[in-house]
Amino acid sequence: MGQNYRNYLLFVVGINTGLRISDMLKLKVEDVKNKTHIYISEGKTGKSKKFFINLNLREDIDMYIKNMKEEEHLFQSRNGNNKPLSRSQVYRILNKAADNIDLDIENFGCHSLRKTFGYHHYQKYKDVALLQDIFNHSSPSVTLVYIGINQDVKDKSLQDFYL
């Protein structure tokens, strides 16, 4: 499969798991092949976490890894033998993709995938405590600030609220 599918899968895994880019880049085929969950020890916190691989993500992963060896990095760089993409390469890939679709977001980058996951997860389930746990944040307020639930959103929620 080509770089385009690698880049697509990088995006899809990021927005569907909420994993940090640094943790995603460590993944190898053996970490996802025939697995129901992605198990990691978070680089930033050192905590063990597991992330469910839903059916749609499973199909994308299986198609991508079909001809890969178990010891290969999931998101390989073209430079070197079985070397993962660097964080700066991921940043360039994401910025180029954002430019290609005229996404008007300044500094669309590595954290944008995790924040996108968080924002949409919160909008769907309205469970900040669950999201706080997924992200290993210290408080609900940290999680809400992180995913961009700002004053405008709070104001809008109060527009039609009257008891």
Query: Which of the residues 44, 47, 66, 126 is marked catalytic?
Result: 44
Torsion of CA 32, 61, 90, 125, to 10 degrees: -90
E strands, the chain, are 37-41, 48-52
Query: Which of the residues 58, 73, 111, 120 is marked catalytic?
Result: 111
Q: Computed from CA positions of residues 53, 59, 61, 65, in that sequence, does the dihedral angle turn out positive or negative?
A: positive
Q: Is 37 a catalytic residue?
A: no
Contact yes or no for 118/16 (Cβ under 8 A): no
Q: Is 146 a catalytic residue?
A: yes
Query: Which of the residues 6, 20, 28, 121 is marked catalytic?
Result: 20
Q: Is 137 a catalytic residue?
A: yes
How far is residue 151 from each of residues 106, 107, 156, measured CA to CA in Å?
20, 21, 8
Query: Which of the residues 26, 115, 119, 146 is marked catalytic?
Result: 146
Query: Which of the residues 6, 49, 114, 121 is marked catalytic?
Result: 114
Q: Is 114 a catalytic residue?
A: yes
Query: Which of the residues 6, 28, 121, 137 is marked catalytic?
Result: 137
Q: Which residues are catalytic?
A: 20, 44, 111, 114, 137, 146
